């Protein structure tokens, strides 16, 4: 006998509601899950739109402040943000590296010309032209990220496809992290501040400081530096403008100048760290430490193979956000550790009197020579 009046009725109602809820989940659970995902993607899309608009605004304001245009550059900026590059045909891969190299050269020249048209006051100032080009490319990346996320959001909403929405929802945390990194990069590029990717050029800049430099192809500089009883031919992209140069062409030229008589090649670059690793941690390895589309790595590897030159690499570990954001103290401090690693490698792997090539790979914005 129940002591609570109507308790049997309450139990029956709760049981009935439980059955109804279970049946709803069976037939509509997937759709409910999809609407939750759509809502989450929609919220992230609104945030991406704000970041993208702020990036566009920063680029326009920087152009007006530095470039002194006679007309409003907004229309040209919008056109710039939608530029695209079509890769070479790879059905027959023979010679594809040279084709890609040509396309990238044309792209770089075209974007620089656009910057000069938008900013007539700095037409002859290569440093500011490079900085503005980097600023606009960061805004371009934000615009592209926003459009891709919007595409999959609209497509998933139209088709009510759980799998389309699920894919974009699963990678959203990484997409947002990358977008926020580019947002931070905008101000660094606009004001010419060193970024995390400049770890390699900073090491090279420290080594060549006080020594005479000369230009190499393309947009690179080199200094001959006494180093642990050897001669270090130190190469970096020309700074302090936002510039990565073409280390592949520079290394090719130096190796040929020395007729292949090089003890070793050591490359220094920023490397993507794994979660749990410390920002600024220094690691040593073997191979061409250089990112990008692979053209420079190909050229370097070809010359190294031809002359049987050993290739070593030292990297400074950092996150994708650190790479394009203003340089953190941990990364700056790590450059001294890199120099100590370089000394150890040179002493252990070469003989006194040898010539070694040291390449600081990365963006030289804010890093002189």
- How many other CB atoms are there within 10 angstroms of residue 85's CB atom? 12
Question: Which of 15-19, 228-232, 272-276 shows the lowest mean pLDDT across its residues?
Answer: 15-19
3-state secondary structure at position 336: helix
pLDDT digits (tens, 9 = 90+) for 286-315: 999 998 888 999 999 999 999 999 999 999
Contact present, 366 and 241 (Cβ < 8 Å):
no
pLDDT band (50, 70, 90) for residue 46? very high
pLDDT for the residue numbered 7: 60
364 within 8 A of 243, measured Cβ to Cβ: yes
In this prediction, residue 1 carries a pLDDT of 44
Check whether 90 has a pLDDT greater than 80. Answer: yes
Ordered by start, the domain boundaries in the chain are 27-191, 196-360
Distance, CA of 4 to chain centre:
68
The C-alpha angle 200, 234, 348, rounded to 5 degrees, equals 90
Least confident of 5-14, 225-234, 236-245: 5-14
Q: What is the 3-state secondary structure (H, E, C) of 144-167?
A: HHHHHHHHHHHHHHHHCCHHHHHH
Contact (CB, 8 A) for 32 and 120: no
Residue 347: pLDDT band (50, 70, 90) is very high
Q: Are 235 and 220 in contact (CB under 8 A)?
A: yes
pLDDT at 253: 93
Q: Ranked by mean pLDDT, which of 7-21, 112-126, 343-357 comes out on top?
A: 343-357
Q: Which CATH number fits domain 196-360: 3.20.20.70, 3.40.50.620, 3.40.50.1470, 3.40.50.300?
A: 3.40.50.1470
**Residue 64 confidence (pLDDT) above 50:** yes
Has residue 236 got a pLDDT over 90? Answer: yes
Question: How much is the pTM?
Answer: 0.84
Q: How far apart are CA 83 and CA 243, in angstroms?
A: 20
Task: Please report, to the nearest 10 degrees, the dihedral formed by the alpha carbons of residues 228, 233, 239, 242 taken in order.
Answer: -110
Q: Please check whether residue 245 is in contact with residue 219, taking contact to mean a CB–CB distance below 8 angstroms.
A: yes
Quote the CA–CA distance of 230 and 326 in Å, as a whole number: 34
Average pLDDT over residues 70-79: 88
Find residue 359's DSSP bridge partners. 235, 267
Judged by DSSP in three states, 256 sits in helix
* E strand spans, the chain: 213-216, 220-227, 230-237, 264-272, 282-286, 311-318, 355-360
Query: Mean pLDDT, the chain, as a whole number?
Result: 88
Residue 312: the pLDDT is 95
**Residues listed for the chain:** 369
Q: Residue 299 has what pLDDT?
A: 93
Output the pLDDT for position 5.
Answer: 53
The CA distance from 24 to 89, in Å, is 52
Rounded CA separation 117/11 (Å): 77
Cα 140–chain centre separation: 13
d(CA 220, CA 235): 7
* 208 and 225 Cβ atoms separated by less than 8 Å: yes
DSSP letters, 152-206, are HHHHHHHHT-HHHHHHHHHHHHHHHHHHHHHHHHHHHHHHT--BGGGHHHHHHHH
Question: How far are the Cα atoms of 197, 268, 290, 352 from residue 286, in angstroms, in the given order?
Answer: 20, 11, 12, 22
Does residue 34 have a pLDDT over 90?
no
Spell out a b/e string for 275-300, using b for 16 or more CB atoms within 10 Å of the CB, else e.
eeeebbebeeeeebbbbeebbbbbbb
């Amino acid at each position: 006998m129940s002591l609570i009046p109507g308790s049997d009725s309450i139990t029956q109602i709760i049981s009935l509601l439980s059955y109804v809820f279970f049946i709803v989940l069976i037939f509509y659970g997937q759709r409910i899950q999809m609407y939750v995902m759509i809502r989450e993607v929609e919220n992230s899309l609104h945030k991406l739109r704000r970041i993208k608009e702020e990036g566009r605004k920063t680029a326009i304001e920087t152009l007006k402040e530095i470039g002194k245009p006679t007309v409003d550059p907004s229309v040209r900026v919008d056109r710039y943000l939608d530029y695209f590059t079509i890769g070479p045909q790879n059905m027959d891969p023979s010679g594809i590296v040279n084709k890609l190299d040509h396309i990238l050269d044309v792209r770089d020249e075209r974007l620089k010309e656009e910057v000069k048209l938008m900013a007539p006051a700095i037409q002859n100032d290569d440093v500011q032209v490079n900085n503005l080009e980097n600023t606009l490319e960061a805004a371009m990346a934000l615009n592209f990220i926003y459009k891709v996320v919007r595409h999959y959001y609209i497509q998933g909403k139209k088709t009510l496809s759980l799998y389309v929405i699920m894919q974009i929802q699963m990678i959203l945390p990484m997409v947002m992290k990358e977008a926020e990194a580019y947002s931070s990069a905008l101000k660094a590029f606009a004001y010419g501040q060193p970024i995390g990717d400049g770890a390699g050029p900073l090491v090279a800049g420290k080594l060549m400081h006080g020594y005479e430099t000369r230009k190499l192809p393309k947009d690179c500089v080199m200094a001959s530096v006494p180093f642990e009883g050897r001669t270090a031919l130190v190469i970096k992209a020309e700074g302090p403008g936002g510039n990565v140069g073409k280390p592949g062409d520079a290394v090719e030229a130096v190796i040929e100048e020395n007729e292949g008589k090089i003890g070793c090649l050591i490359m220094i670059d920023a490397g993507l760290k794994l979660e749990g690793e410390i920002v600024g941690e220094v690691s040593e390895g073997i191979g061409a430490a250089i990112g990008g589309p692979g053209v420079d790595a190909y050229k370097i590897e070809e010359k190294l193979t031809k002359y049987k030159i050993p290739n070593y690499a030292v990297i400074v570990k950092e996150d994708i956000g650190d790479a394009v954001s203003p340089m953190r103290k941990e990364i700056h401090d790590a450059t001294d550790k890199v120099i100590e690693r370089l000394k150890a490698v040179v002493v252990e792997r070469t003989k006194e009197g040898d010539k070694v090539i040291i390449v600081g790979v990365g963006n030289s914005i804010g890093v002189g020579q």
